[in-house]
Structure formats: structure tokens, C-alpha cells
Structure 1
Amino acid sequence: MTIKLASIRTIFGIDLRTLALFRVLLGVYILIDLVMRTGDLAAHYTDAGIMPRSVQIDHLYVTTWSLHLANGAAWFQALLFTIAGFAALGLLLGWRTRLMTVLCWALMLSLQNRNTYILSGEDNLSVLLLFWAMFLPLGARYSVDAALERAERVTTNAYCTLATAALLLQGMSMYFFSALLKTHPIWYEDGTAVHYALQLDYLVTPFALWFRQFDDLMSGLTYYVYALELIGPFLIFSPIFHRTLRTVVMLAFMTMHLSFLFFLEIGFFPFISIIMNLTFMPGWMWDRLAAWLPVRSNAPVAIWFDRGCDFCEKTCRLLRVFLFLGDTPVRPAQDDPELGPDLEQRNSWIVTFGNDRTYEFDALARLVSLSPVFFPLGWLMRRGLFRKPGARFYAWVGRNRGAFSRFSARWLAWRETPARFGAVTQGLAGLFLVFITVQNVSTLPWSGLSPLPDAFRMVRQALGLYQNWTMFAPYPEMTSPWPVIEGELTDGSVVDVYHDRPGLADFDKPEVVSAEYANYRWRKFLSQLEDQSYEDRPQTLALNYARYLCRRWPEAHPDMPALATFVIYFQIEVSQPPGQPKEVETRHVWSHDCFG
């Protein structure tokens, strides 16, 4: 039997349609991330919150930068959040894609550097993916940029450069080096790593609380995760049985992250990891999807616009791209001796289906109904409830065609020159690939490369290229904390400060400990606060969190006396081997006087 080996271009290339999916999912991820952060905008990113700028600056490396540190007011942070949201929307749509990618990377890195004590693995990975995205033609397919290209310059979907190799290797390095850092026997001998991970009540979901009764399953999952992280990166790049192995390993990693989603409260890390894994989606999958989801018409379809109307032509091209209509022709009606006069008489674009013609809003509804993805929307648009409003909307657009043409000329300009991803871009991608590889190797205790030179760390911090994949490595945490804060108001009454309610604080273990935290960023901050209390140095996090609680109390309780004093405790639950009960101890972390 002859074994066919995959080529280097196949192994390290990425289909342009996959890059388009990568772009869209990154845009969606950033928008959701910004919305989630907005709920704690004042608490996490202003001088009135838990991390004033003067404190954060003292804890940043010399080359770490942040636009968000320029002003500590909520309005300024909201402005930067808004700009980042528009950049993410531009990235999602593929409008001026490379510029939007650079903006998203810069604003994401800036935002993360504003408060480094609420960050987790998802933040590190998202910045890295955006960094590599700057070296790739994310807007070559299914984008505004692609719709506005005068001529298609990239005729094949196969795309392989140093940048595609770097993105794929970056993704797999997360798993491989994480496996190498899992040096404790509980991973490869005892098989109890998942048991200990699911003992962290402050981090696990209610489903995990139920699931951890199955010791054998947890042991099997331990070996599965360790083996997948260690061997999977080699299999996914295998030239032998490449198509099968890449598909199986990609799906295995994605299902692993979905299981994390069910077991652990770790924010969006599973989602950004799945986005990373989807960059391995091969071109044959897209070809298969195209065969399953063809344009829904047996007759040839064509879209005809009014020559000389810049806005009309661009709208038709955008509809063709975003309705997934493939190579449906878009032509000036004046090119056809019958359709030209028809367009002039009706003052409407025309969509033809063989010998049939449709006009105005009906043409749009019919065109949407042909989309292999959005055809249900087309069915709705053709119902009577939507036809009259649709007709009025079409007439309004027609009356303001001049204004729309001026807008499109300014903001939707034709792409006359291709985005350049040439020798300089690829050379930089190759250089940074070496850079992250050296850094990953330096995290291994036996490498002899640590500590890295100061110049190396300066570049790393300036560009957000930090690599240290200690995901439950060398072993999971062994303590699970949750906060208890009891205070006294100026009138002498006792209050539960953490839960914002009168009465004594409850030191008993909650039914679901992870629900004690407002969200995963608060969990990260408070767990770091508890960790810092063991260190023989100023407890910066505790002090600033206490000051924040003093400021927040009168805002949350304007009709109550002021908060005078309080004590921050943490209940610490210590994990035990299988079959042994856990121990709980109370740790005094900080005492604070709001007027002292």
C-alpha cells in the first residue's frame, strides 16, 4: 500500500475561508469580552476602583504600555471601550481589515495592561492570536474588503506562508509546553490530576460537583488530557494520514475545551481556544459545505445595477459576498439592450432568475431567499407584514442615493491595490516565531535558558508575546478560597460587607462556592489577593481593595450610615487525596479602618 505524504504547504497552510472564519470569530469574541468587562468598568479600570493607575504603574515592566493609563476617569475608559468596539466590528465585517486588526491588537493589549491582576490565560491567548492575525490576509474572503476589490487577485483559497505556520505552531505550543510543564506524578502515574482540579470548589461548576463522584472517569480524563496535549501537536502536523489525523485531533482539542466549559468557571478560555483550533480547519471542509449548501436556484442568477451609481454597484457586490452567493454576476444593466431601458423606466435595480425579473424590495427579498445561509430571512421578507415597510425603505434609499454615494465614496472606497503580505511581513513573522519558541523553551526548568536577557523581556512585554503555559502545571492548585468580609458601620451596627447586607457575615461553606464570585475576573483578583497575603511584602491588593470597599459602600447604600471598619477573611479549603475529607481553615488577610 502506498502512503501519500502531505506537502509542507498543506501542513502549514491555512485556507483563506478559514482565515475569514477566524476573523469573524475574533471580532465576535472581542465584542463579547468588551461587553462583559463594561459591567465592572469603574471597579476594574478607573482610579476609583480596585487598581488606581499609580498602583498599577508601579507593578508594570519598563516597556509595558497602556493607553488606558492616560486617564483614570470612567468617561475616558468608556471612550476607549467604544473605539475598541468599533474596531472589533470593523474586523468582524472585514472593513479595512489590516488596520482594524492592528487597532484591535493594540487596544486589547492596552486594556489588559491597565489592570494585570484580573487577567487569565484567555487574555494572553487572545492577544497572541491578534498579534499573528496582523501578518495574515484575514479580509481576502467574505469581507467588505473582498467585495470592494476591483479584480480578484487571489484566485486560490490555499494560502501558506511563514505567518500561517507561526499561527498554527503558536496554537499547538500552548498544549505541548503545558504538557512538558506537567511534571508531577499525579498526571502520568497516579492519574489524580483531574480529581484535584475538580476539588477546587471556588473554580468548579455545579456539574463538576456532581461529576467528581466518578473516580474512574476522572482518572481516565487525566490520562486523556495529558496524552492529548503531549502527542496531539505532533499528530496534527503529521504528513502521514494528514487529513484524517488533523480532523480528529482538531475535534479532540475542541471537545476537551467544551468539557472545560462544563467543569470549570474559567471565563472565555474555552471559546478563544476553540477559535484557535478552528484555524486548522482544512479547505476540503469548506468545499464539502459549499456542496451541501449551494445557491438555492436552478436558474442562472444575475444582479444588475445602474452604471455610474457607485453606491449601487458596491451594494450589489456586498450583497453577493455576505449572502454567500458565490460567483453570481454583478453587471451594469446598460450592458443588456433589454434590461437597460427597463432599469431606466422603473428606476430600480434588477435581479434576474433565468428569464424572470424582480425589482426593488422584492428583488432583495428574492435574493436573500437564494442564500444558502440566510434563506429563512428571505422567506420572512416576502411575507406581507414586511413587504410594505420594505418597499418604503427601498424608496427612501432611492431618494437619498446621492448621499449614500458620497458616503460610500468616502468610507467604502474601491480597493485598487492589494494588501501587502510580502517578504518583510513574512520575515518578521519568522523572526517572531523564533522569538516565541525560545521563550517557550525557556519556561522548561531543565532548559538552562532562564532567566532571559532584559532586552528579550523588553520586546516581549512591549508586544504582548508572553508565553508560559502553566495550565494546572506542574499540578493543580491544592487550596480553594472564598472571601468573608465582616464590618461595622459608624452607628455600631454589624454588616456583611462582601454581600452588601446587614448582619453577621456567614463563615459556613456555600452550597456552590464558585457562585460567591461575581464573575471570573473578580475571582482572579480576589484569589490573587489571598495568595499575596502569604508573601512577606506590602499587601497592595488588599489595601486598594479595602479602599475601594470604603468608597463603594455609600454609593450602594446612600440611606445607611457610613462603613467604619471591616476585616477581610478567606475561608481556605485544602484538597485531599481521593476518599479523604477536605479541611477548612480561616485566614485573616486584612483589617481596615475607612477613616484611619
Structure 2
Amino acid sequence: MLRFLSLLRSPFVVDLRALALLRAAVAAVVLLDLGIRSTDLEAFYSNMGVLPLSVLYERSWNPYVFSLHTSSGLWQVQAVLFLLAAVAAIALFLGYKTRLVTFISWLLLVSLQNRNPLILQGGDDLLRMLLFWGFFLPWGRVYSLDARKRPAPTQLSYFSAATVAYIVQICLVYWCTALLKSSPEWSRDGTALYYALSLDQVLMPGGRLIYPYPELLRFLTLASYRMELFLPLVLFIPFAVPWWRLLFVFVLYGFHLGISLTLFVGLFFIINMASVLGLLPTSAMDWLEKHIVPRAQQLGPRVAARFAPLHPRLASLRQAVQLRVETSWSLSDGLRGWLRSLREGLVVGLLLYICWWNFDSIIKPEWTMKAPMRWIGFLVRIDQHWGMFAPSVFKDDGWYILDGTTKDGKHVDLNRQGGPLTYAKPASVVSLFRNDRWRKYSENYLFVDNAYMRPYYCNYLLRIWHENPANPPLQQLDVIYMKEVSQPDYKVPAPTRELLCGCAP
């Protein structure tokens, strides 16, 4: 019986060092995300930008969510909150007060994402969930500043309900995105990647190289679909676990590197690559520790002492600390055990809730989650949707023209730094976007349901233009979309001009 139970839990046992690596990677991604977002403090998070607080509350607000970033419409207040989030992320990277700063980082990330839902993508959901599950994981137990104050762990393998939740969460990302891809272009025709690379708004140089080869695109489409559907199953095989884990990590790294070279997806591929680091088996971590830690030791004994969890020079000190800790905690073992059981039960309940949420759009209608149950997911933002290019690839491609009319009747394109207006297609449409947040915003800008946001963007552009005295004054600005619907068999239709919005000073 014990052997059977051990076999059942083996796929969910992780290495504490891999969890520490996951922690550092997530913290680094949070810092990178903050750095990119900080370039648009005024545009995306202040009342002077494209989504003032009054419009957010009127049009896009969910009454169950919260946001500290809605406490003020001043960009200066946003800057302070960004700084606090950066400090928390640095502390998380170093493993200082790990559980506390994990909670703070999650809280500020949720707050930030709730401030402007018009610029979010699937990677944001995953980053949020990694921090959420990280709160229940001991990812500060080694390779952290916190580890200096505690005895070395007696073993590096770790199992709990949280490790099950972490692994199942990763599987849900790929299972659900595959199950939601119900269009024949994914499972039968194999044309999904062709249509994805037909979108100039996301086409990268690597995509241009493979785009002319339809048979290659068909093979990659069907392979990607089946990989997302079946590869996660290897994480549940109870034997040869290290080998299956390494296969899963290597395949996904290749998959997401391929995505990054062909499609403009922002931080999506980096977040996904960081998410699987906690799966690295003991053999991989032993190799990394053998080759990385000695180099860290060359930087100085202080660095080595902080980041080598089993450093022999700390052994005697840890033994003494462990003896004192065991003595002082002996009277509270019962309470700690009760709290641990409560935590495990909470994690199991949350995991079941999340599984139900994910499969809600796939299961029978009578089993779907009712509205009164959804407030929990919205409140702590464990709501998630993995519909990347699902159920089919978006076909409405094109590019923006920001047609500004000067007082002397000339037309300039603000999207091309005030150059002469031309309706010719840019050599690289994707280069028109400052970052992926703007690309996502422009995608949402097209939808009829989001027509309310169009005047705010138009007026924001006018104000920014007139703040530069070198720019000629405009008497009119028109936001124009040159629509070019993707066609099969490499057919390129003539673009149609669509006036989305017009505004004047």
C-alpha cells in the first residue's frame, strides 16, 4: 500500500532548488513587466491617458475585483505603486521575507492588471497564477536570504497539495488552449499557423522565413495542436519521472522559442518558459549546482554563503539553530500540524475550483459554473482563460493610420512620426507598436463592443502631439484602420479604409 501511494505521489514531488529557481525567474519576469509598463504610466494608468478612471468604472469594471491603482488618476501615484512592486519583486528574487513579499507582489500585480484590462493577454493570467500558487510553495527554503536563518533541509525533495496545484496549473494552460481550438484549421486542415503568420500585426522575421512553405506550416500546426493536447500527460507518468520532466521542459522551451521568433507575443513566451523551471528534476539541479555554484563561490565567500544552501561552513551553525528551533517549537507542533492540514485543504479546494473554471466552457451546459460561484475567482483573480488563437485564428488584419490635418491643410501620419500621409502598407506593421501592450490595445480598439474607448485614444494622441512645440498644430485627427482580411492560399485582398474615430482640439 505504501509503495502504491509513493508511486501516486511521485509525479508531484519537486526539488526545493527548482522551486527556488522558479521563484527567481518569476520575480525577474515581474521586474521586466514593470519596466515595460513603466514607459506608459500616463498612457495606460492615469486619467490623462486612454482609460480614465471614470471610464474604467463605467465600462470595464467588475464589482468583485479590487485595485490599489484606482486610488488616484495621477501618474505620480502610479509611479510610487510601481516602485513598491519593484522593491517587492527584488526582495522575492533574493528570497527575503519570501512569503510576505510573494503576497505583496501578487497583490500589486493583481491591482495593476485590474487597472487596465484592455492591454492584458494570456501570459498575464499565468504570471498572476504563478505568484498565487507560489504563496503556498516553499520556494524560499533554499537559495534565499531567508535560508540563512533556518537549518538546512533534511531532504531536497518536497511534496504537498501546492506542488500538485502547480503542476496541474501548467497542464491546464496547454490542455485548455488545445480544447478551445475547435476550428478545423487546427485539428484537420492545418492552416492555423498560415493564418497566424498572415497577420502582419504579429509577424516577426522568423515567421517571414517559413511563411512561404505551406506544407511546413501545416506540419507545425498539427504538431503544435497535438503537443498542447498530449504532452502534459507525461507529467502524470509515475515512473522515470526525471526523464519525462526533462522531455516536457525541453519540448516547451523549443516550442516557445519558436513562437518568439515567429510571432510578436510580448512576454508571453518568457512567462511560459519561466513557469516550468520548478519542474526540473534533482539530476538537473545537481548538474546546475555543480557548474553554477562553484562560479558563484569565485565571486566571494559572502555570495557563496548566501546562495549555496548546503555549504559545509554553515553546517555547525545550522545544527545549533535547528536544535534551538526544535526545542522552542516542540509545544506548538500540534497547532502547526493543524494549520498545515488547513492549508492543504484550502489548496485542494482552490485547485478543484480552478479546474471547474477552466473546463466551464467545454463541459456540458448543466455542469457549468453558475454566476453566484464566480465572485471568488474574480476577487482573488484565479479566473483564467487560455484561448490563444482559439477557437480559430483572428482574420481581420491591417494597420493603423493616424491622419492629422494641419491648419494649413496638410496631412501627416502621427504613426510615422509626423511624416507625409501615405496609404501604402508599411514594410513592417509590427514595428508601429511601441510594445506588446500597445499592440493588444490596438487589437481591442477594433472591436465594436469597445467603441467607447476610441475617442479617449484619439484625444490622448492629440494632446501628446501638441505638447511638442516642434510639431505643427492640428485641427483634426482621424484614426483610420486599413483593413486587410486574411485569405486562403496566399491571396492578398485590397485593403479597405475604415474611419474608426475623429477628434479635434
C-alpha deviations, 1:29-53, integer Å up to 9, x for none? 1111111111111111111111111
- 1:486 & 1:223 partners in 2: Cα distance? 41
Deviation at 1:423, TM superposition (A): 1.6
Name the counterpart of 1:509.
425
Question: Do the aligned residues in 2 keep the contact of 1:166 with 1:430 (CA within 8 Å)?
Answer: yes
Say yes or no: does 1:426 pair with 2:341. Answer: no
Question: Do the aligned residues in 2 keep the contact of 1:136 with 1:164 (CA within 8 Å)?
Answer: yes
Name the counterpart of 1:326.
311
Q: Which has the higher helix share?
A: 2
Choose which of 424, 430, 435 in structure 1 pairs with 2:353: 435
- Aligned letter for 2:94? L
Deviation at 1:292, TM superposition (A): 5.2
- Aligned letter for 2:306? V
Where 2:398 maps in the other structure, the secondary structure is: strand
- Aligned letter for 1:147? R
Where 1:514 maps in the other structure, the secondary structure is: helix
Q: 1:323 to 1:155 in 2, by over 3 A?
A: closer
- 1:486 & 1:544 partners in 2: Cα distance? 16
- 2:480 & 2:504 partners in 1: Cα distance? 15
Where 1:175 maps in the other structure, the secondary structure is: helix
- Aligned letter for 1:525? Y
Name the counterpart of 1:26.
26
- 1:587 & 1:25 partners in 2: Cα distance? 43
- Aligned letter for 1:545? Y
Where 2:447 maps in the other structure, the secondary structure is: helix
Q: 1:248 to 1:592 in 2, by over 3 A?
A: same
Deviation at 1:74, TM superposition (A): 1.3
Choose which of 435, 454, 457 in structure 2 pairs with 1:519: 435
Q: 1:165 to 1:473 in 2, by over 3 A?
A: same
Aligned pairs for 1:566-585 within 5 A? 566-585=477-496
Which stretches of structure 1, 4 residues or more, deviate above 6 A after TM superposition? 315-318, 414-421
- 1:511 & 1:449 partners in 2: Cα distance? 49
Q: 1:290 to 1:92 in 2, by over 3 A?
A: closer
Which is further off, 201-210 or 76-85? 201-210
Where 2:313 maps in the other structure, the secondary structure is: coil
Higher relative contact order (CA 8 A, sep 6+): 2
Deviation at 1:573, TM superposition (A): 1.6
Question: Do the aligned residues in 2 keep the contact of 1:442 with 1:448 (CA within 8 Å)?
Answer: no
- Aligned letter for 1:554? H
Question: Do the aligned residues in 1 keep the contact of 2:478 with 2:503 (CA within 8 Å)?
Answer: yes
Choose which of 447, 452, 466 in structure 2 pairs with 1:540: 452
- Aligned letter for 1:513? V
Question: Do the aligned residues in 1 keep the contact of 2:142 with 2:309 (CA within 8 Å)?
Answer: no
C-alpha deviations, 1:77-134, integer Å up to 9, x for none? 0000000000000000000000000000000010111111011111111101111111
Question: Do the aligned residues in 1 keep the contact of 2:477 with 2:503 (CA within 8 Å)?
Answer: yes
Deviation at 1:188, TM superposition (A): 1.8
Which is further off, 286-295 or 520-529? 286-295
- Aligned letter for 2:346? L
- 2:239 & 2:494 partners in 1: Cα distance? 51
Name the counterpart of 1:221.
220
Where 2:157 maps in the other structure, the secondary structure is: coil
- Aligned letter for 1:470? G
Where 2:495 maps in the other structure, the secondary structure is: strand
Deviation at 1:491, TM superposition (A): 4.6
Larger radius of gyration: 1
Name the counterpart of 1:456.
373
Taking only aligned residues, the RMSD between alpha carbons, in angstroms, comes to 2.7
- Aligned letter for 1:558? P
Q: 1:551 to 1:513 in 2, by over 3 A?
A: same
Aligned pairs for 1:273-284 within 5 A? 273-284=272-283
C-alpha deviations, 1:170-189, integer Å up to 9, x for none? 11101011111111111121
- 2:158 & 2:311 partners in 1: Cα distance? 19
Deviation at 1:472, TM superposition (A): 1.1
Name the counterpart of 2:138.
137
- 1:82 & 1:525 partners in 2: Cα distance? 24
Extract unaligned runs of 5+ from structure 1: 302-314, 333-413
- Aligned letter for 2:454? A
- 2:483 & 2:64 partners in 1: Cα distance? 36
Where 2:276 maps in the other structure, the secondary structure is: helix
Where 1:246 maps in the other structure, the secondary structure is: helix
Name the counterpart of 1:55.
55
Name the counterpart of 1:562.
473
Name the counterpart of 1:192.
191
Q: 1:319 to 1:114 in 2, by over 3 A?
A: same
Question: Do the aligned residues in 1 keep the contact of 2:20 with 2:140 (CA within 8 Å)?
Answer: yes
Which is further off, 69-78 or 230-239? 230-239
Question: Do the aligned residues in 2 keep the contact of 1:6 with 1:240 (CA within 8 Å)?
Answer: no
Deviation at 1:69, TM superposition (A): 0.4
Name the counterpart of 1:393.
none
Name the counterpart of 2:322.
none
- Aligned letter for 1:33? D
Name the counterpart of 2:320.
none
Where 1:234 maps in the other structure, the secondary structure is: helix
- 1:282 & 1:210 partners in 2: Cα distance? 36
Deviation at 1:318, TM superposition (A): 6.4
Question: Do the aligned residues in 1 keep the contact of 2:242 with 2:283 (CA within 8 Å)?
Answer: no
Deviation at 1:511, TM superposition (A): 1.0
Q: 1:32 to 1:295 in 2, by over 3 A?
A: closer
Name the counterpart of 2:403.
486
- 1:289 & 1:519 partners in 2: Cα distance? 34
Name the counterpart of 2:129.
128
TM-score, length-scaled by structure 2: 0.90
